[in-house]
Every structure is written in C-alpha cells, then in structure tokens.
Amino acid sequence: MQPPLLTINALSIRYHKQPVNAVHPFNLQVIPGETIGIVGESGSGKSSIAHAIMGLLFDKATIEGTIAFDGKTLTQPDWQALRWRQIALVFQNASNVLNPMMKLADQVAEPITTHLGLSKSSARQRAFQLLQDVGLDSTWWRAYPSQISGGMRQKVLIAMALACQPKLLIVDEPTMSLDPAAKHQVVALIQALQEKYHFGLIVISHEMKIIQHMCSKVYVFYKGHHLEYGALDDVLENPRHPYTKGLIGASWELDAHRDIWGIPASIRAPVASGCPFYERCFQAKPSCTQYDIKPLTIEQGHSVACQRGGIATLLKVQALQKKFQIRHHVINAVSNVSFEVKEGEVLAIIGTSGSGKSTLAHLIAGYETKDAGSITFENSPAAPEALMRRQGGLQLVTQDPAAALNSCWRIRDVLNEPLKWSLNMCGKKRHRLMRHVLHDVQLPSNESFLEKQVHALSGGEKQRLVLARALTMSPKLFIADEITAMLDPSNAANIVKLLKAMQNSHGFSMIFITHDLYLARKIADTALVLEHGKVADYGPGPDVLTARQDMLRHSPSNTLSSIS
C-alpha cells in the first residue's frame, strides 16, 4: 500500500466559548489519488473538519490530535507553506464566499502569483485556462461575484482550488443547491479533473448519491461523532449503524422506486451521556446511555461505533418446516425457509395465493406449531405466546379486521384488553396510552368515540383500530399479513402509508406480507419471494424486486396508484 497522503489521528475540534465539541476525536486517512467521502446531516461537523485540515481554526477553536501530511505531522506554522499550494479547498458554496470587490479571474489568479511566483499576466492566463477547464463561459471571467449564478460560482470555486495543482483537494458540498443537471455536471467535472491532475480527494456531502458516485471509502458523521467507516459498497449494501441506514433510506436518488423516509427527529427522550444517536435510534437499549464512544480505527476496515455492534438481528428463522396432511395428501406449506429480520428493517414477503405466506406468519406468531427448524427473537429461542403478550415483543395483524374484533365490544374495551391482561398498568396511564395510539392511527380519541361499538366502524376504521390495539404493546416486530386485502384502493394506500410512517417513527421492524409487488417496492428494505412454500428469492429489496418483474404480470391490483 502507498504511504498515506493525509493521516488524521484522534482529531477533535471545540470552538471557543462552546460547551461541547463540534467534532469529537476521529481518525481518517487519504491515500494519494484516492477519493474518500464524509457524509452526515447538516451540523455534523463536516465543514469544521475541512477547515481544520486547512489549518484555519487556530484562532477560533481548540484543536487536539494530530494531522500529518505527506508523512509529516503538522504544527501551526507548517500550514503557511501548505495552504492552497498542497491542500486546497472548494469552499461550501455560499453567497459571500468570494470577495465581492474582486473580479473572478483575479481571485483565481491570486494564489498563482503568491505561491508559484508567476507574473501577473501569466497568472491571469493560467486562471483563464482553469476557468475554461471548469467550463465557465469567457464572458464571465472578468465579472464580479454578484453578477454570476450559484452554479457558476461553484465552478469558479473549483477552478480557484485547482490553481496551484494541490496534492489534496477537499470539496465541501460541491452540489448543494444545484439542479440535477448541474449536479451531474459538477460531479463529472471533478472526476475528470482528478483524472487529469491525480489529486487525493475528500468529498464532503450530505447526499449519499454524490458519495456513491465519487468515493471508494466513506466516513459517516453525526453531531461531530464518527459513527461508521468502510468501503463504499460495504457501507451502502450493508450499513451497520442505524444512522447510516437512515441516511441511505432518506436518499431517494439511490432507489427511485422507494418512498423516502427521513430519520425521525426523536423516538425517545434524549440523555446527556452515552451514544449520541440514542434519541433517534430504533434499536436503543438502556445500556446505550452508558456507551463510551471511541474513535474508530481505520485499519479495521468496515467498523461502527455502536454499543450493540451495529444493527442487530431481531428475528432469525432457520430451516422452518410445516406440513399439512389432508387425507393422503401431504402439503409442504412451508419448507426449509430461512431468513432474518434486522432491527428497523422492513421485510416484504411476497408470494401468490397459496404460496405459504400466512402459514409462515402464523408459525412465527405461534398460531401454528412448527414441525422443524428454529425461530429466535433477540438471540434467544422465541416463545411466541409470551412475545405476543409482552411490551416490546411481536404483534400480528391480519387481513380481516372483522375477524380480529368482537363486534359488540366498545372501542375502549378493545384497546384495554391487551393492556389489562398483560401488564399491570394504572387506569390513568392506560387512558393516556389509548389516546396516544388512536392519534397515531389517525382515529378520533374523544370519549364518545371510545364508547362506540366496533360494528359501527367502517372497514378502514376497523383496520386502524386493530393497528392501534397492536401498537398499545409497543411491539419490536410487527407482522402485517395482507392487511390491505379487504380494503378499497384508497383506504389501502392510506393504511400502508400510515403503517410505514409508524414503523419509521416508532422504529419497529416489520414483516410485510403481500402479493403486490408495487406495494412491496415502495416500502421494503429486503424482500423474500415465496413459491410453493419455498424461498425462491431473498435479498435486498431493489435487487429482488427488479429481478422479479415477471411477478408483476400476476399481481392483480396496483394499490398504490391511488395515493395522492
């Protein structure tokens, strides 16, 4: 391996007069000619890292740790010789990032005269060449910054950064606020320039798509913490941190068919210590508040900063078998089915009628007993009965809400029932929870509604009520078995949207059983195709669903077409 161009060791940044670090200790490495990506939401400290690498923070922040460039550990005076000459930065594009009183070409030429000692006129010639390289029309070369558009400014910023042919180039949000065509252009431009000049490249972005296009390794940051590191493909295909998974889920550009779901702002009350992502994590445990987060080591390859070692497996099904005997016929309803459901994951199980989908669901929920195989929930053998009765267990909702509800019960009783016999919850608390879940499923929660009897509800309302009842148990795994089958398309679409929204905001995992490929595509992380009781296909949602286009011919309805 080549010696690294840039090595950052346990670097931390705290701005003066700020109570907490903007960036917590982290490690980073760039090899000559390689492209790494730093990704994270706004405020995760990406620009701060860029400025620290440029040595621009000494007067406003306390910096700890070391930065080594070309094998030499840098001290403050060293930067004077490196800035722009060796390490250059394409600043985050903002209105006043260029000097409003200086012509564009002059701003590009300026570092050339300073660092390369060229005469004014030859520096200017070179600036023109660079501006031409980045594709800025020559009419603008002598313009002032206020006279050009944001996209043009981006080009000028790139040309300016390349003025002295640096060995390391940092680009901060190169595509922010650009339209898709311009984005594409800028990405291609930077790549072409890298091809030409062979600089090491650090791409900073909050868009996974940009990182995916440009980088071979990726660093995921959140609130100044380095949470995940790995080769791009590893991280994209198999994200290990819940936050990374959330970022990927929030990037609609990665999969055009899927609905986007942002990372929920908060799932639970925040805590002062422990894991920084605790508040928003779908798989947090109480022990996470004690987690002592340490800088990730780059040498390890794909690594993650999580108390639970990354996204955990919630349900593991292995070699599951179920036979039914009807007289002399033996029907292999489920044969040798294995799969797993991770925390926060939506698994779509797709199959035609009679392919064994519901039997599989019933086996997991304990409605049927398995002939062979194993089911483990949170790493211990599952006792379905107990799981259904406890908070944080599993809940099953089926296609026929009427069958699941006693039609002469009052709504209050329906919701009270699981709470009463599975938990000792006081009346007041129960009432609050009841209102809460009704609100979640978008049903009224006033007294008169609670007094209504079930048979007074429409089909859609009944299905919502069943969902609400399941929600009172705060399940970790939600099995939805063709829940839209008996609803009209518009109601079905609304229920699916609602369910996915709840899944996202509560952070539970879900097995979504359907025969509708379109539906599955919208919400699934992973997909499993069942044919005659056997697994015909299993893998990441987009792959499986694209591979099984043939099933579209068989799927009768397109339930989501009515979503407004």
Ligand X SMILES: Nc1ncnc2c1ncn2[C@@H]1O[C@H](COP(=O)(O)OP(=O)(O)OP(=O)(O)O)[C@@H](O)[C@H]1O
Selected from 14, 83, 462, 476, the binder of another protein by CB under 8 A is 83
223 binds another protein (CB under 8 A): no
Q: Which two tokens stand for residue 190?
A: 């930077």
When asked if residue 206 is in the footprint of ligand X (CB under 6 A), the reply is yes
Q: How far is the CB of 88 from another protein (least distance, A)?
A: 8
Tell me the pairing of strands 313-326 and 372-377.
antiparallel
Residue carrying the six token digits 């002939």: 371
Tell me the C-alpha distance between 464 and 255, whole Å. Answer: 29
Report, in Å, the least distance between residue 41 CB and ligand SF4: 15
Stretch that binds another protein, among 138-146, 351-359, 421-429, 478-486 (CB under 8 A): 138-146
How far is the C-alpha of 149 from the C-alpha of 179, rounded, in Å?
A: 12
CB of 78 to another protein, least distance (A): 12
CA atoms within 13 A on the CB side of 491: 13
Q: How far apart are CA 290 and CA 275, in angstroms?
A: 7
Residues 6+ apart with CB under 8 A from 182: 151, 154, 175
Q: CA angle 326-327-328, nearest 5°? A: 105
Interacting positions 3-32 with ligand X (CB under 6 A): 15, 18, 22
Beta bridge partners of 531: 534
Query: What number of other Cβ atoms are within 10 A of residue 32's Cβ?
Result: 15
Q: Tokens 């640096």, residue?
A: 166
In the complex, the smallest distance separating the C-beta of residue 558 from ligand SF4, rounded to whole angstroms, is 37
Q: Kindly state whether residue 445 participates in binding Mg ion, applying the rule CB under 5 A.
A: no
- Residue 418 interacts with, from Mg ion, ligand X, ligand SF4, none (CB under 5-8 Å by kind): none
Question: Using the rule CB under 5 A, which residue among 7, 12, 29, 47 binds Mg ion?
Answer: 47
Q: How far is CA 502 from CA 340, 404, 555, in A?
A: 21, 21, 26
Q: 174-183 burial by CB neighbour count: b if 16+ within 10 A, else e?
A: bbbebeeebb
Asked whether the CA dihedral 127, 133, 135, 139 is positive or negative, the reply is positive
Which partner, ligand SF4, another protein, Mg ion, none, binds residue 89 by CB below 5 to 8 Å per kind? Answer: another protein
200 binds, among ligand X, Mg ion, another protein, none (CB under 5 to 8 A by kind): none
CA distance 204 to 54: 14
Using the rule CB under 8 A, which residue among 31, 68, 97, 231 binds another protein? 97
Q: Is 43 in the site for ligand X (CB under 6 A)?
A: yes
The one among 12, 29, 35, 47 contacting ligand X by CB under 6 A? 47
Angle of helix 150-161 versus helix 104-116 axis, rounded to 10: 10
Told to check if 51 binds another protein by CB under 8 A, we report: yes
User: What string marks each residue from 89 to 108 as x (binds ligand X by CB under 6 A) or -?
Assistant: ---x----------------
Binding residue for ligand X (CB under 6 A) from 60, 142, 439, 455? 60
Task: Name the minimum Å distance from CB 370 to Mg ion.
Answer: 53
**Among residues 164, 186, 284, 387, which is the contact residue for ligand SF4, using CB under 6 A?**
284
Secondary structure element (H or E) that encloses residue 514, with its range: strand 509-514
Q: In angstroms, rounded to a whole number, what is the distance separating the alpha carbons of residues 533 and 319? A: 12
43 binds, among ligand X, another protein, Mg ion, none (CB under 5 to 8 A by kind): ligand X
Cα–Cα distance list, 480 to 24, 155, 223, 346, 357 (Å): 41, 50, 35, 11, 11
Q: Is 278 in the site for ligand SF4 (CB under 6 A)?
A: yes
* Element at 159 (helix H, strand E): helix 150-161
Question: Which of 46/226 has CB closer to Mg ion?
Answer: 46
Taking CB under 6 A as the rule, does residue 242 contact ligand SF4? Answer: yes
Single out the segment in contact with ligand SF4 by CB under 6 A; choices: 141-149, 271-279, 363-371, 485-493.
Answer: 271-279
Count of residues touching ligand SF4 (by CB under 6 A): 12
Maximum Cα–Cα distance across the chain: 97
Among another protein, ligand X, ligand SF4, none, partner that 318 touches (CB below 5 to 8 angstroms by kind) = none
Does 147 participate in binding another protein (rule CB under 8 A)? yes
With binding defined as CB under 5 A, does residue 86 bind Mg ion?
no
Q: Rounded to whole angstroms, how far apart are CA atoms 450 and 185?
A: 58
Contacting ligand SF4 within 303-342 (CB under 6 A): 306-308
Stretch that binds ligand X, among 39-47, 68-76, 452-460, 493-501 (CB under 6 A): 39-47
DSSP state of 264: P
For the purposes of burial, counting CB atoms within 10 Å of the CB of 546, is it exposed (0-12), middle (13-18) or buried (19 or more)? exposed
Nearest CA-CA partner of 401 in 348, 334, 470: 470
Binding positions for ligand X, rule: CB under 6 A: 15, 18, 22, 40, 42-48, 60, 92, 206
Binding positions for Mg ion, rule: CB under 5 A: 46-47, 92
Binding positions for another protein, rule: CB under 8 A: 51, 54, 56, 59-60, 79-80, 82-85, 88-89, 91, 94, 96-102, 110-111, 114-115, 144-147, 160
Binding positions for ligand SF4, rule: CB under 6 A: 242, 275, 277-278, 281, 283-284, 288, 291, 306-308
